[in-house]
Chains A and B, each alone.
Chain A
Amino acid sequence: MSNWIMAPILIPALAAMMLLLEVRERHWLRRVTGLTATLALVPVSILLFRQAATGDIQVYSLGDWPAPFGIVLVLDQLSALMVLLTSVLAVPALLYASHGDDRLGPNFHSLFQMQLMGINGAFLTGDLFNLFVFFEVLLIASYGLALHGRGPARVRAGLHYVVLNLIGSAVFLLALSLIYGATGTLNMADFAARAAELEGPALTLVKVAGLLLCVVFGLKAALFPLYFWLPATYASATAGVAALFAVMTKVGIYALLRVHGLAFSDGALAGLGDMALWTVSLLTLGLATVGVFGARRLGELVAYLVVMSVGTLVAALAWGTEEAISGALFYLLHSTLICAGLFLLADLVSRGRGDAGDTLMAGPRPPAAGLLGALFFIGAVAVAGLPPLSGFLGKVMLLRAVPAPAYWALLLAGGLLAVVGLSRAGSTLFWRAGEPMAGTVLNKGRLAAAVLLLAMAPAMVLLGGPLSAITQSVAAQWAQPDLYIHAVLGYPGGAQ
């Protein structure tokens, strides 16, 4: 058992504490500390991923209490992949924010590290109540980050976001206590093993709890009808924060995948909520397409693209075959990174347009319009799923794995309408623009951060073979919950 599994939680936690020490007027020190801690997460998560890729599932018992009694952290390939994605995303997001946005209010860097700690913790924990605690850690940090900087729009969106998530937390608690009351455990592996053999009233209670969990994770993931908070919150947050938030919806999807794969795959709870998730995700996909088409601001448009990716992913999850999950994971990596890059790009464009901001109306030409336009083109092609970039590969994998007419129709029509919406946005912003405003220059550091994220689109195509091999092996391990249960409990499910 290696101790490295703690590092993705401990590094941001320590950095956040250090950043709380008062260093007035020394922003460079905070930036260096924050960036160092975030950069340090990359090699650590690569190391963890290489350890997980061997196929072993590592279990770390906190306080050395054995599995069903104490809290465990579990590192399997799915967790390792998500931690790696988070660290790869966090570096450009923080780099972008470190060029000025972090000075809009106090404690930005500390909150950012807390957010990373919560996200990594949620990916690594093997205990349902601990998942609740890490959700709260990442949520309270995200409240601070979403409200970072001033402005009425941010406060209004923030209020809705906080109230909704507090209701979500109450529902999460109800679900957890139902599970504890009926099965006597909150350890995910133990719960899965016991849930398979439930019957009678206890089974009904656990089914209710399982569906409540789907509601909570659906709220985090922004599924219909619980996605209305997302476009306002993400579009009004500062760009670096919005980029990091691109992975927050994926925390909800990860939690769905984890609980679904462990407890709802076979046994007494097999297929629980599949039909509901399928319907709801297709509705999400369809409505988000309308949102992309009707958005009046670039930030809002990108936020609806995030919702679209959520619908696409959860539908594949509800379909539930190993191949569908593999395609979904590839698409998840792609959509997180590209949507984050587009959030940064939207902010770069809006900074060069003065009062016009990122509204989709003719205004001044942004500085270096050719370069930004080319980047927007790459991002749009990738996110809409046109060949030859990463979105195309992801969509092909998904379409091959999920041969359902409704899914094909919505995904293809969604892609088409996204192309129309994005080209309308691009031509308005870059072609129908007037003279550039005097005195606006493009910040090289910000540009570098956006380029770094958007460069993932061609990179994911070049590395398409190895990447899809990785997602296939992750999905294969996900499809065998017995491996996970055995690794955590030390015996293959059921009674000892």
Chain B
Amino acid sequence: MSGVTKIFPGVKALSDVSLELYAGQVTALVGENGAGKSTVVKILTGIHQPDAGTLVLDEQARTLATPHDAADAGITAIHQETVLFDELSVAENIYIGHAPRGRLGLVDWEQLYRLSDELLQRMGASFDARVKLRDLGIANKHLVAIARALSIDARVVVMDEPTAALSHKEIEELYLLVERLRDDGKAILFISHKFDEIFRIADRYTVFRDGEMAGSGLISETDPDALVAMMVGRSVESVFPPQTSSPGEVIMRVKGYSHPTEFDDISFELRRGEILGFYGLVGAGRSECMQSLFGITRPSTGVLEIDGVTLTPSSPADAIARGLVYVPEDRGRQGAITALGIVDNVALPSLRKTSSRGFVQVAEEFALAREYTQRLELRAASLDQHVGELSGGNQQKVVIAKWLATRPLVIILDEPTKGIDIGSKAAVHAFMRELTAQGLAVIMVSSEIPEILGMSDRIIVMREGRRVAEFTREQASPEHLVRAAAGIGEAA
């Protein structure tokens, strides 16, 4: 495709970008969130139409008006979160929409299972085509999605961050598959945030920045630093902003917080202007403990004290009223109401402040949204734009803005930079420093060791619902954290 421009209301998502895919080669598409990668995927799969530009497939100009057209043209996409049907069998998932038909137009089940098993075998899958999809792990679900791509004899395969949810071993298996597809002569577009991945698997690269072309070429002729420079348009020096203030007096005390199944006897103190990191493996009970402090679930025992007032929040409304807020990990489901405007989202927890005796004051709501989105340098077409139309990084900014607008004393950030691009990450980190400098206390739950080490003043490690270790910034090292989190020896 060349010269493609896509304009969404008020925002130019793509501006005169070109992308070339070659049969038998893997092309990596690189760019920050919001750079226009997903828009390209949607244009290639017929979900969106470009406002200008052409798409040429095998020297033939094409218009992809619907997803069906795209499938006919031999273009298929494997998405980050696979769109498959849990309750159907593997074979049905592979062939849904183009199942082999027998007489009378009924599905030829034997043929269906035979073809599916052949496909799976060719891919080296270890499961049967009759298994229900929900009985498979995420990696095997990806295999099914790829099998589906092969079944329609696709010539162009688009993979949108396929490794995001996979373990290390599963990623290796995926690489083998990608290589097999490549050797079969497919043209592959591989979208990823991870540089090691790109250099492992791709032959070529194309970099987008803010919806424009930033560069393209052969992987063998570039290096990670050059790619990063292209992505951000500047060189990235120190990743984490330095600490500028020192913690003040204790603002929050937690004593003996326990829950029958999720966590046990959690106690800690938090000071003004401090960033307290919570590290642990997935399932260590960190998020559950934080949500309990926020009043989502009730603890069985435990005392919470904020700014000298003792309370056990029974709902988030209680916690917010006392100045404790929580930015959840699951942005789309818990953090933002994606079908409502930015202004509605930002004003929601502050309704008491922006209303007078229960009556809302629209001007106040806009003023609040304007102030906090500007502080976070949000990018949006207008304040009534739906949050779902924003990129991941900008959605996170809206969620953080909505909580800051309540003027909290303590803010809990649960995986604040998960799934957002380098630029937004840096902005969030810098903003955290700014907040602590103003005396706000921050709890940061994170599974990224560099982030924990780079940002925290103190670090608490949890394992299986218990607090197993605490380090100061100076004491902590990656080895300490990993050992404590995994329970190898006695790290503390």
Partners in one complex: no
